[in-house]
């Protein structure tokens, strides 16, 4: 993002409504602090922490706004229960993993192919004291086991390399079905920068799991949508302040503030879970 885009994102974020000056002060503080230290330990939600470096765009969004991807992250906070299984495909440095295991008390399988990013992810698991609840898998996820070229140095947008990409490294590939063998996930978050169809090709058993009730996914093409529909999932939108789901049509684009699409298997039971979830205080705002 350009500076102007970043400032617009901060001031328009739902959790910053009514107090944009405080949000801009957090932005200014981060700009100074991140230049004085290689890493900053940020106190986040309900005692959780994030270790963040300058240039980690997704993580810094949490510093500025509380929840970088508002509706998506709020759904995770309201949906997950202690000891349920959350699968974080493309975990990056672990923002969603920390929400799931440090705040909600869920068990997480965090999958991240980039070894440098895995170092940062492991630090965030350790600093939050959640090693006993998080399983780290250093691999890309695809249609079959093997190896693949993966980009380097793109922060949250590292991905399986295209033929023209030059700065790459080779990483291992596993299928989601192999990773989740004998596991009963409740929620999967998938951020694999356009590689979703390949992931689903190796996730037939995982999608059919009776325990799996929700999927947050970044890129939805026709092939992915077909696989989700065949597995019984319907696209939905979540309004965190109202704790309401709507199927098929987004009701309030200002609350979206996220890059993912939400797919549900059973809207009625999910609605009941969301309504009963404890309130969370995020930078002084209750959701």
Percent of the chain scoring above 70 in pLDDT: 96
Name the token pair of 100: 């799931």
Q: What confidence tens digit (pLDDT) does each residue in 184-213 have?
A: 999 999 999 889 999 999 999 999 999 999
Tell me, yes or no, whether 128 lies in a domain: yes
- Is residue 275 situated within a structural domain? yes
For residue 60, how far is the Cα from the chain centroid?
A: 14
**Is residue 149 one of the residues assigned to a domain?**
yes
**For residue 253, what pLDDT is reported?**
46
Task: Kindly report the number of other CB atoms within 10 A of residue 183's CB atom.
Answer: 14
Q: Say if CB 261 and CB 235 are below 8 A apart.
A: yes
Average pLDDT over residues 94-105: 98
Q: What is the pLDDT of residues 141-169, one digit of tens each?
A: 999 999 999 998 887 788 899 888 889 99
In a domain, 181, yes or no: yes
Q: What does the buried/exposed string (b/e) look like for 153-163 if buried means 16 or more CB atoms within 10 Å of the residue's CB?
A: eeebebbbbee
Does any domain span residue 63? no
- Identify the pLDDT of residue 254: 47
Which of the two residues, 249 and 45, has the higher pLDDT score? 45
Residue 159 structural domain: 68-286
CA distance 33 to 38: 9
In a domain, 36, yes or no: no
Domain of 198: which CATH number? 3.40.50.150
Confidence of residue 258 (pLDDT cuts 50, 70, 90): low
How many domains, the chain?
1
Q: Is residue 29 part of a domain?
A: no
- Residue 145 in domain: yes
Q: Mean pLDDT, the chain, as a whole number?
A: 93
Contact (CB, 8 A) for 87 and 185: yes
């Amino acid at each position: 993002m350009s500076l102007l885009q970043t400032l617009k994102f901060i001031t328009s974020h739902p959790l910053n409504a009514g107090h944009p000056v405080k949000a801009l002060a957090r932005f200014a503080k981060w700009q100074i602090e991140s230049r004085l230290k290689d890493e900053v330990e940020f106190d986040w939600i309900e005692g959780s922490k994030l270790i963040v470096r300058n240039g980690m765009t997704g993580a810094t969004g949490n510093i500025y706004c509380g929840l970088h991807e508002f509706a998506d992250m709020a759904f995770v906070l309201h949906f997950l229960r202690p000891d349920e299984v959350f699968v974080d495909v493309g975990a990056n440095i672990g923002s969603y993993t920390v929400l799931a295991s440090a705040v909600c008390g869920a068990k997480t399988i965090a999958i991240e192919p980039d070894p440098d990013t895995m170092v940062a992810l492991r630090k965030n698991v350790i600093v939050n004291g959640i090693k006993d609840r998080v399983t780290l898998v250093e691999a890309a996820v695809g249609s079959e086991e093997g190896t693949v070229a993966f980009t380097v140095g793109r922060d949250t947008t590292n991905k399986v390399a295209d033929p023209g990409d030059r700065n790459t490294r080779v990483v291992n590939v596993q299928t989601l079905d192999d990773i989740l063998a004998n596991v009963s996930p409740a929620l999967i978050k998938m951020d694999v920068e356009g590689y979703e169809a390949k992931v689903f090709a190796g996730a037939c058993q995982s999608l059919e799991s009776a325990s799996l009730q929700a999927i947050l996914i970044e890129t939805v093409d026709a092939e992915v949508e077909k696989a989700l529909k065949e597995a019984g999932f319907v696209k939905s939108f979540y309004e965190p302040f109202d704790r309401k789901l709507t199927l098929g049509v987004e009701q309030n684009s200002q609350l979206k503030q996220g890059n993912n699409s939400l797919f549900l298997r059973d809207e009625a039971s999910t609605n009941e879970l969301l309504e009963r979830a404890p309130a969370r205080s995020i930078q002084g705002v209750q959701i």
